[in-house]
Structure 1
Amino acid sequence: MPKKIIIAMVCLLLTLEIASFICLWGLGLSNTPYPWSLFVLFRFGYYGLCAGALLCASLPFILAACYLKGGFIRWLSGIVLLCLVLSVTASIVGVFIYQWWSQETFNNIAELIAFLQELSEEPEPLRRFIGCELAGFFLVFALPMHALFERFRPGNKVLGNAHFANGYEIQKADFFKKKEESLIIGKKYGVPLYSNGFEHVLVFAPSGSGKTRSIAIPNLFNYPYSVVCNDVKLTLFETTSGYRQKVLGHECYCFAPTHPEGRTHRFNPLASISKDVNHRMTDIQRTAHILIPDNPKGDVIWTQASRKLFKCLTLYLLDTPERRTTLGEMNRLIKQQQFDVWLQDLLDNTDHLDPEFYRNGYSYINNHEKTRSSILESFSGYLELFDDPFIDSATSASDFDFKELRRKKMTIYVGFTDDDMERLAPLLTLFWQQLISAMIREIPDLKKEPYPLLCLIDEFSSLGRIERLRRSLKLLREYRVRCILMFQYIAQTYEKYSQDEAKAFTNIKTKVAFTTEDLGDAEFISKMLGTKTQRVANESTSLQAQGISNSHGKNYQAVPLMRPEAIMKIPAENTLIMRSGFPSVKAEQFIWYKEKLKCLQEPALNLQINEIHRNAFKREVLTDRSLCALL
């Protein structure tokens, strides 16, 4: 028999026995109560007493069930319980007032019930008793009603009406509503809070504050569709990859280019270049602008020249089957012993390559020797990362295609460690830029691309400028893409973006703030929470010719809902959820290993081991005098 049915039967028997006890006690009988005693009394005509006893006996179980259900129902059950407690208290106070006034004494509830039955035939005492009960209700409910009146009084809203959301307001904002594509952003009244639709989520969470355990991992267990996520220390892969592949039916990949054992799937940034000769230049130019971004503080001539050289070498690799089209191969080309001589020879003695190869190649060669040296030095700096044989191997081919993310269920983990974050930033930026570019190329056809995509970008502010994401963030919902961006500190974002540019991220509709140690972030969050109106009493004393004069007054002040110092003292397991158009929510973290999600964990997948190649350096001896003249 199912566990729930057994519990329901036990609760029913307890309810009947408690109701029987109440009836017998109310009648002043000393009989032993049994569950069926209620039905016996019902047969003798005690209909009202039995109904009232049954209601009183069942209420605790109903309220307990509502509490265990959680969410809006728990909040509502709390309101009902409070009203019941106040009502019972008010009734008892009313009885005491009547006893004091009329000098009547009730030794037990049976005497009170008998007295009430007699009152139905005596109008005057009945009116007196009702008046005493009303007085009791007034005394008990006066303070709560005053607080409620103060809450909704117009004068208390003139300078701001910020407050934390109650259960009804949370329900109205659909935070309790779970859909298939919902994201878990917190916990309130014992149930998860969700962000629905294709709205992005911004998370302010310093290192160690709990964003991985309460945002990243819960959503990887909960979100059924395609996901691409940054995975610091491979925690997400080890915890969720088994479940996502075995239970959710995903193809799981882990791109971890610096894994010490070479356990990684591969991602080649140049593999996305079109095979069509008429379209490939578009892809090459896009990649060039991502890999070699404009430097506002530097001279544009070097970035422009580096892009031309990049286009030249990419076209050469694409049209040379014996060479791999990878950034590692390009890195070896420009660092060969006599690169300028090699390129000159290729330009002068071949004609089968793309015309743009020759144009961009001669554009480089025609520069002065010192200029060429500076261009080459500048360009080689962008490819320095590929000196690492592990990274060279991890980018030697592509095991996954971004274009498939909406066609089938896929999960891609981008793994790295804190130590490698800075040097990997250009490659990670290139990865995310190409991903966003692939997603916004065209609006998906739901028949061919039925699955939405979630981009979970941890350590977002530590990456380079993801310009495509910044420009297209508001449009991504049209392409069925949503993002969870995780910042450690807002100030880090201003290192890569101006304050106006950063507004594209900080203006995201739904924000989740964890406790912070940064005063600037605390002040920003305090402003986001808004201000409330506070009535302040003041008193002044002045000495006049007639004597001392005292004056009293009240005025209104706008005060923050939470001051920065209060935000910095938020308990470690609490969060603040802010959503435009709705009151903020003071919530708890949804810690996955304290919830039912703990039972979902499966063993992590085994990653393939890539063979690490150490490419030998080749020395060349020139015999052609015309080529030697270049040196």
Structure 2
Amino acid sequence: MISKDKFNNAVGPQVRAKKSGVGKAVPALALLSIGVGLAASTQFFAYDLNYQEVLGPHFNHVYAPWSILTWANKWYGIYPDAFMRAGSIGVLATGVGLLGLVVTKMISANSSKANEYLHGSARWAGKKDIQAAGLLARPRRFLEVLTGKSAPSHSGVYVGAWVDNKGVQHYLRHNGPEHVLTYAPTRSGKGVGLVVPTLLSWSDSTVITDLKGELWALTAGWRQKHARNKVLRFDPASSNGGVRWNPLDEIRIGTENEVGDVQNLATLIVDPDGKGLDSHWQKTSQALLVGLIMHVLYKSKNEGTPATLPEVDRNLADPDRDIGDLWMEMVTYSHVNGRNHPLVGSAARDMMDRPEEEAGSVLSTAKTYLALYRDPVVAQNVSASEFKVKDLMNHDNPVSLYIFSKPNDKARLRPLVRVLINMIVRLLADKMDFENGRPVAHYKHRLLMMLDEFPSLGKLEILQESLAFVAGYGIKCYLICQDINQLKSREIGYGHDETITSNCHVQNAYPPNRVETAEHLSKLTGQTTVVKEQITTSGRRTSALLGQVSRTIQEVQRPLLTPDECLRMPGPLKIASGDISEAGDMVVYVAGYPAIYGKQPLYFKDPVFQTRAAIPAPKNSDKLRIVQEVTAAEAITI
């Protein structure tokens, strides 16, 4: 005997689906046939007796089907022939019904049946699937209506749009703590479709990489005036109204974290592309910078001298001072309670003990990595801190930090931007307490990290590692890349063993340009089973009737979205100037739910977003901390 559960191969929504109840259909139809037979007997008997009043009340000569049984109990001895005739009619009606049921059952048993899950069960999501995934608001339930409770609000970041069967477009938004990963080629409309709508609706804190300054122009005005945000524009290569930030002010000097903070900073300085410390000169210059940065910090604490990266560079490249004097100062200086700091002294002693040629190579390597801070404008912008990283989530108001890096300055500013992103993750995800078995939040505002073209920052190991846990600290990442190749690149990305995709609950994609991305999206969509019907005929083509026609049903496997179909997804329509006039298609994947075939949203097609984007951005950045003004020249020469 075959067990009921032997072929229990349903997965996901198939398990949750209600059973069709086919096994109860046959008994129900048999009972219906018997009921029809009783009704036929009753009506025939009443007709035979000409609907006499003695038969009892009726509705237009229609009696209850079981009345024949009551009448037979009373009057069978009086009208035996009438009851026999009525019984024959009832048996005939019941027999016809049961015979039809038997024939239907035989045909069904001998007919081929398609197994909808044979090769795969992938399908496109419907409205209920999207609501279950949390991307679409659901209607209020019955108990919520009775208790006066409202349905969960539809808020969060924008991940796409979906058009229902009536042609109505619905925005898809995700407000959970999980992260989002987007694949969108250049000029595909990701900014106007995903980034701008999100920034014109997200009211908590956010960090934005703004390559061209477009996001500041379109969203900073609304965020400042209506979302109560303090808007900060960090533009290291410009002296026009930006905010300043000194990485050394984030070092927790005098605490147990000081050595780790300095080592992390020095590693980022000597590894501007995130490829790791592979060469001897990188490792030795990193050790030198760790000691020198620590020396500059303690000297600033004791004497009030500047503690900045330009000051670190000035110490190494001072034309009026022999480099040996610096090593001697680092070895003999009283850093803590009249004693020399062991980390500083050992770094200087290493340089003093090296052969002259090797020491010169280490020194020149360290100077190379600090060359960026010889730019007077950059030096001015890193000379003081008008905000601290902790302010992003703990200021009285939410804070929006726009990180500018113009295309012509992107490569040289990359080390500084990497330092800032790294410190944001490390300093905001460093402490968690628990109370009654639940984590206790140590922040006032959630933080959205909207990182466009994030692989261009190089490999940020802290970002890849932290995606698995930063959600618990109130940080949500929205990562955007051009394609899967950019993400998996060994040169600028995270390699084929990357874990970015593993830690992003939602992935969405615009029509890709690379077949590798199309193949990845096809695999994410899954395999489905298609029922193929094959008709075979025999006989002469000129005959009136064919000799034989046979039909065969076969289950065939295919991807729900093939790589070719993915590459041919309709993209946005553009006018001659290159601006988008009509949205294209996109796909959205939520872990554990069917893929969504959606539509690209466009902020300028929505009057609400258009009104918000029209609010002019402030000319000058907000400043959270007041510091003494220092000119660009003083930042170099002080």
**What TM-score do you get using the length of structure 1 for normalisation?**
0.68
1:273 to 251, 256, 259: 251
Equivalent runs, 1:460-499 vs 2, <5 Å? 460-495=454-489, 496-499=492-495
1:431-470 to 2 correspondences below 5 Å: 431-443=420-432, 449-470=443-464
Residue 310 of structure 2 is matched in structure 1 by: 328
The within-5 A match list for 1:15-30 is: none
Letter in 2 for 1:427: L
The residue that corresponds to 2:325 in the other structure is 342
2:158 partner amino acid: I
Counterparts in 2 of 1:388 and 1:333: CA distance versus 1, 3 Å: same
- For 2:235, the equivalent position in structure 1 comes to 256
Letter in 2 for 1:556: E
Return the letter of the residue paired with 2:598: A
- Is the CA contact (8 Å cut-off) linking 2:192 and 2:603 kept in structure 1? yes
Alignment partners' CA distance in 2, 1:608 and 1:174:
36
Shift of 1:589: 1.9
Alignment of 1:390-405 (within 5 A): 390-405=377-392
The residue aligned with 2:416 is: 427
Question: 1:373 aligns to what?
Answer: 360
Q: Deviations for 1:245-291, whole angstroms, at most 9, x for unmatched residues?
A: 111111110111123x5432112111101132554223212222333
CA distance in 2, matches of 1:295, 1:248: 35
Q: Is the 8 A contact 2:510 2:587 kept in 1?
A: yes
The structure-2 alpha-carbon separation of the partners of 1:490 and 1:422, relative to structure 1 and needing over 3 Å to count, comes to farther
Q: Structure 1 residues 165, 246: closer, same or farther in 2, change over 3 A?
A: same
* CA shift in 2, pair 1:233/1:299, >3 Å: closer
Counterpart residue type for residue 405 of structure 1:
L
Structure 1, 299-308 or 558-567: larger mean CA deviation: 299-308
C-alpha distance in structure 1 between counterparts of 2:428 and 2:247, whole Å? 15
2:78 maps to: none
Please state how far the C-alpha of 1:511 moved relative to its aligned partner.
0.6
In the alignment, is the contact (CA less than 8 A) between 1:161 and 1:531 conserved in 2?
yes
The amino acid that maps onto 2:562 is R
Structure 2: gaps (5+ residues): 1-58, 63-112, 138-151, 163-167, 434-438, 539-546, 573-582, 623-628
Q: In the alignment, what sits opposite 1:314?
A: 293
Which residue identity lines up with residue 167 of structure 1 in the other structure? Answer: K
Shift of residue 348, structure 1, vs aligned partner: 6.2
> Does the 8 Å CA contact 1:264/1:607 hold for their aligned counterparts?
yes
Aligned position for 1:510: 506
> Does the alignment pair 1:358 with 2:345?
yes
Change (3 A) 1:299 1:458: closer
CA shift for structure 1 position 342: 3.1
Give 1:135-150 correspondences, 5 Å limit: none
> How far is the alpha carbon of 1:350 from its aligned partner?
4.2
CA displacement at 1:214 relative to structure 2: 1.4
Q: Which amino acid aligns with 2:306?
A: R
1:413 counterpart = 2:432: no
Q: Is the 8 A contact 2:310 2:635 kept in 1?
A: no
Amino acid at match of 1:314: I
Q: Which of residues 572, 589, 593 is equivalent to 2:604?
A: 593
1:570 Cα deviation from its structure 2 partner = 1.9
Helix, strand or coil for the counterpart of 2:115? helix
Report the CA distance shift for 1:512/1:326 in structure 2 as closer, same or farther (over 3 A): same
Quick one: structure 1 residues 616 and 452, their matched pair in 2 at CA, closer, same or farther if it must change by over 3 Å?
Answer: closer
Q: Distance in 2 between matches of 1:296 and 1:436?
A: 19
> Residues 201, 334 of structure 1: CA spacing in aligned structure 2 closer, same or farther, 3 A cutoff?
same
* Structure 1 position 121, deviation (Å): 6.6
Could you say what secondary structure the match of 1:252 adopts? Answer: strand
Query: Structure 2: which amino acid aligns with 1:536?
Result: K
Give the SS at the match of 2:250. Answer: coil
Match of 2:206, SS?
strand
Which residue is 1:623 aligned to?
A: none
- The equivalent residue for 1:164 is 124
Measure the CA separation in 2 of the matches of 1:318 and 1:311.
Answer: 11
> Counterpart of 1:482 in structure 2: which amino acid?
K
Partner-residue secondary structure (3-state), 1:566: helix
For the pair 1:224 / 2:203, whether they are aligned, the reply is yes
Unaligned runs of 5+ residues in structure 1 are 1-119, 124-152, 543-547, 619-631
How big is each residue's C-alpha offset from its partner over 1:544-569, in whole Å with a ceiling of 9 and x where there is no partner? xxxx9999754332211122222222
Change (3 A) 1:372 1:441: same
Cα displacement (A) at 1:413: 0.6
Amino acid at match of 1:604: A
Counterpart secondary structure, 1:271: helix
How far residue 180 of structure 1 moved from its aligned partner, in angstroms, is: 7.3
Report the CA distance shift for 1:388/1:180 in structure 2 as closer, same or farther (over 3 A).
farther
Quote the Cα distance in structure 1 between the aligned partners of 2:181 and 2:590.
Answer: 10
Q: What is the deviation of 1:487? A: 0.6
Cα contact 1:389–1:612 (8 A) shared by 2? no
Q: Does 1:560 align with 2:549?
A: no
For 2:595, give the aligned amino acid.
S
Q: 1:154 to 1:414 in 2, by over 3 A?
A: farther
- How far apart, in 2, do the equivalents of 1:447 and 1:431 lie? 23
8 Å Cα contact 2:458-2:493 kept in structure 1: no
Q: Which has the higher helix share?
A: 1
3-state DSSP of counterpart to 1:461: helix
Query: Does the 8 A contact of 2:160 with 2:598 survive in 1?
Result: yes
**1:570 aligned counterpart, secondary structure:** coil
TM-score by length of 2: 0.67
What is the SS of the residue equivalent to 2:455? Answer: helix
Amino acid in the other structure paired with 1:516: P
Which secondary structure does the structure 2 equivalent of 1:451 belong to? coil
Percent identical among aligned pairs is 25
Structure 1 residue corresponding to 2:157, chosen from 158, 176, 183: 183
Deviates more, 1:530-539 or 1:585-594: 530-539
Q: In structure 1, how many angstroms separate the alpha carbons of the residues matched to 2:440 and 2:190?
A: 32
Partners in 1 of 2:333 and 2:244 — Cα distance?
33
Deviations 1:340-371 (A, max 9, x none): 33323424664455342222111122111111
SS at match of 1:157: coil
Q: Deviations over 1:435-475 (max 9, x none)?
A: 00011111278676232111111111111221112112121
- Deviation of 1:426 after TM superposition, in Å, equals 1.6
Residue equivalent to 2:141: none
Structure 2 CA distance, aligned partners of 1:552 and 1:358? Answer: 88
**SS of residue matched to 1:575:** strand
CA RMSD of aligned residues (A): 3.1
> In the aligned structure 2, how far is the partner of 1:401 from the partner of 1:297?
27
CA distance in 2 between counterparts of 1:580 and 1:459 reads 23
